[in-house]
Structure 1
Amino acid sequence: MPACPCPGNLAHILLLNSRLRRTWGVKFFYPRQHTVTREVWCGGVGLHTGADVTIRLKPAPPDFGIRFQRTDLTGKPVITAHYRQVVDTFQATTIGIAGAVVGTVEHLMAAFYGCGVDNVLVEVDGPEIPILDGSAAPYTGLIRKAGVREQDAVRRCLIVDRPMVVKEDGAYIRVTPSDHFRIDCAIDFPHPLVGKQRYSWSFCENSFKREIAKARTFGFLKDVRKLQTMGRAQGGSLANAIVLDECGLLNREGFRYADECVRHKLLDFMGDLALIGMPVVGAFHVHRAGHSLHSRFLKQLMTRPGTCSLAQPSCIPTGVFPASRLPAFAGQISSVAKPI
């Protein structure tokens, strides 16, 4: 697996870069793209469709991005994992093109983001990604099994230049410029075991696996019954979701974290944010948001003039610092970024 991309201070790095350019030679360190080393697969039930589905993760070339291929459909259509391809956000994120869809992509996308995977082909033989245990942990394990290898291509990065906020019915998502990637997430549910929860997290690969990936999706029994009458949540069970009744928790094993619900909401946001197609440097404040607001936010983030810019790799001489100490998502950025 790639080294832990621990956050760093961009201002200090940029100042150092300007000095190093005048002092050192032409051999530089650049952040590289990554793909899986070998093909792996897993199978399970879709949370909403109840369909038995198998997915395969396959290595992909540089600048390929994350793409999903529906191998069960005529022509085997390929759907790029991109915010412009989102076609439905009811209870999950669904992407699609020309009638072909893949649902509940957010947990797998969060795992790719958290493990530093830029390029992979995901073959899927059904309309939805398996829910597995309801978290991203099985997918981080699958990626670990596949291995991750560096590619001979520079990783691009998106820089937040100006604050922006998107609101909807008491919920909001706000982003501000920062020297690294961090998320502050808050929820508020009228339930004695949930209530108001807040969790703040700064990106690090190891902390993603330890603090975020294991958080499971959750729902309330009264809502689950309604969803099932609507043809949704057909594959839901206590094996793949936290279910709460009016005053308690139905899962015998209890919570994995005391604040597992808000951690899962953070995971969902991270998975939807991955649909930008590259790492982001900015501070996100997510308050009572869901997939619909996530989608609206991404579209505005990427289209509002002056909000973001595309960073170019900086010139840090090889050997000045160990690669493990350079923040892969935030540290290798030039002082001049091109507007998107």
Structure 2
Amino acid sequence: VPATGEAVTKTQLGTVIENAAGVSVSTIEHLMAALVMLGIDNAVVELDGPEMPIMDGSSLPFVQILDRAGRRQQDALRGYIEILEPIEFVEGDKRAALLPADQFEVAFEIRFPSAAIGRQTVDLVMDEQAFRDELANCRTFGFLHEVEYLRSIGLARGGSMENAVVIEGDRILNPEGLRRPDEFVRHKALDAIGDLYVLGAPILGRFEGVLAGHSLNNQLVRALLATPHAWRYRTLAPELAQAV
């Protein structure tokens, strides 16, 4: 199942990719974020089920597994997608955009009526260390009534407070609380990084998301692919870009 922008078929609860034979893999974004930010260009992921393990709801367990496995340099330069012109996809008050920048930057804004979340923003220059320090351990989140509804229709059966931050009204139900005061918006930034990696290469540019989710992220990916003059594929000097 190729992890490409065109292979994305569903974005309701996570990013789902599917091949021509109808075989699909769901919830790929947390692993994809870990792969791109740890500089993994070339990987085969083997599964014995239709969904990536949710682990603790963040990218951290995948980072830890990759650290234990180690990385091997290849005799090739790393390729990047350099954003040359702004590309955006807007849907009502939701927005996702890629803008030219000399480095990879991620900015996100969310707004929820729940006092547990409210309005949160994050704006980061993103490299491997920043990902490890700022985003990797931030967990997915959901509201209790949503989890109960999903279970009633046979979905999210493995969902629990062990792999998500669960909110009821204005309260966070997890006994341990949050890992960071703005864990919610940081996880949305993590998701976006993973969703963008279906482009097949890390990005030289700035991502901006406002109230965006997996669907808008993929619409942005498709808009970029449909606008070839807005980006170029390039390699950097060997000392800056050794593929692994």
Q: What TM-score range do you get, normalising by the shorter chain?
A: over 0.9
Q: Find out whether 1:194 has 2:117 as its counterpart.
A: yes
What's the offset of the Cα at 1:284?
A: 1.2
| Alignment match, 2:160 | 237
Q: 2:17 aligns with which of 95, 101, 110?
A: 95
Counterpart-to-counterpart distance in 2, 1:123 and 1:311? 29
Deviation track 1:119-161 (CA, whole Å, cap 9, x = no partner) reads: 1111100000000100000000000000011110121111111
Given that 2:87 and 2:220 are in contact with CA atoms closer than 8 Å, whether structure 1 keeps it comes out as no
How big is the shift at 1:303? 1.3
SS of the counterpart of 2:62? helix
Q: Secondary structure at the match of 1:83?
A: coil
Q: Percent identity?
A: 40
Q: 2:80 aligns with which of 150, 157, 171?
A: 157
Could you tell me which residue of structure 2 aligns to residue 82 of structure 1?
A: 4
**Structure 2: which amino acid aligns with 1:269?**
A
**CA offset at residue 313 of structure 1?**
3.8
Q: How large is the RMSD of aligned CA atoms in angstroms?
A: 1.3
Deviation string, structure 1 residues 160-212 (Cα, Å, up to 9, x no partner): 11112110121001221111110111101111110100001111211211110
Q: Distance in 2 between matches of 1:303 and 1:312?
A: 21
* TM-score, length-scaled by structure 2: 0.95
- How far apart, in 2, do the equivalents of 1:138 and 1:190 lie? 31
Q: State the shift of 1:80 in Å.
A: 1.2
**2:225 paired residue among 302, 322, 328:** 302
**Aligned equivalents of 1:152, 1:90: Cα separation in 2:** 39
Superposed structure 1 runs of 4+ greater than 3 Å apart? none
Name the one with the larger strand percent.
1
Count of paired positions: 241
Task: Report the counterpart of residue 207 of structure 2 in structure 1.
Answer: 284
Of 20, 30, 34, the residue aligned with 1:107 is 30
CA shift for structure 1 position 240? 0.4
> 1:260 maps to what in 2?
183
For structure 2, the residue ranges without an aligned partner over 5 or more in a row are: none
Aligned partners of 2:47 and 2:108: how far apart in 1? 31
2:152 and 2:216 mapped to 1: Cα distance? 25
Question: Which ranges in structure 1 are unaligned for 5 or more consecutive residues?
Answer: 1-78, 317-322, 330-340
CA–CA distance in 1 between the matches of 2:149 and 2:91?
Answer: 23
1:1-340 correspondence to structure 2 within 5 Å = 79-97=1-19, 98-314=21-237, 323=239, 326=240, 328=241
| CA distance in structure 2 between the partners assigned to 1:294 and 1:211 by the alignment | 21
Q: Which amino acid aligns with 1:144?
A: D
- TM-score, length basis structure 1: 0.69
